[in-house]
């Protein structure tokens, strides 16, 4: 298969995914900034459980991504560096892959490069976020369990600066004493 054929096939697949996700989003509205965070209960790739409601008191970042998504892969090192820097101060992060369950091996292989936990959206026991209309899509949830930001590629992309502006003010005073540059 030529590179241009493969690129066209990937674009067609991405468009089909977005169309397939639209009815899911229409039936269950995606959370907006200011809404209480919805339920998210999913087994992580390492077998441990992730329960968003159990993380009250911590700031949580939920990043929807896919193995085939170049912008997703580009922001993963930024997310990882931010997580490593601020995890001890109260930041949690979950990379929620929208890849199919049969792609678990590829998802796990990619995630070995990063220190933050990940899960497959297809394995979720509860996912009030629904399927994202686009990836990458990142939600920031404050310690009280309220959605405080939704970051999207191209518009409000995940960068060291956008994470610092969005997340650091949500941390307990003094916890973010080393601002991102």
Catalytic (active-site) positions? 69, 72
Give CA–CA dist 38/128, Å, rounded: 5
Helix, strand or coil, per DSSP, at residue 146: strand
Give one word for 82, left, alpha or beta, with left for phi > 0 and alpha for psi -120 to 50: alpha
Contact between residue 95 and residue 79 where contact means Cβ atoms under 8 Å apart? yes
Contact between residue 10 and residue 85 where contact means Cβ atoms under 8 Å apart? no
Cross-strand partners of 50: 42
- Is the previous residue joined to 89 through a cis bond, with omega within 30 degrees of 0? no
By the 10 Å C-beta count (0-12 exposed, 13-18 middle, 19+ buried), 16 is classed as: exposed
For residue 170, give the nearest of 4, 49, 58 by alpha carbon: 58
Helix, strand or coil, per DSSP, at residue 52: helix
């Amino acid at each position: 298969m030529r590179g241009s054929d493969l690129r066209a096939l990937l674009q067609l697949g991405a468009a089909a995914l977005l169309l397939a996700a639209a009815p899911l989003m229409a039936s269950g509205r995606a959370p907006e900034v200011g809404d209480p965070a919805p339920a998210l209960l999913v087994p992580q790739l390492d077998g441990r459980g992730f329960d968003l409601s159990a993380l009250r008191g911590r700031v949580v970042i939920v990043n929807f991504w896919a193995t085939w998504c170049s912008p997703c892969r580009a922001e993963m090192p930024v997310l990882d560096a931010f997580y490593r820097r601020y995890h001890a101060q109260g930041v949690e992060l979950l990379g929620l892959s929208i890849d199919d369950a049969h792609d678990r091996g590829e998802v796990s292989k990619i995630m070995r490069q990063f220190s933050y936990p990940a899960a497959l959206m297809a394995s979720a026991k509860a996912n009030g976020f629904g399927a994202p209309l686009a990836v990458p899509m990142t939600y920031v949830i404050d310690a009280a369990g309220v959605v405080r930001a939704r970051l999207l590629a191209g518009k409000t992309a995940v960068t060291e600066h956008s994470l610092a502006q969005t997340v650091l003010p949500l941390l307990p005073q003094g916890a973010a004493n080393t601002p991102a540059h």
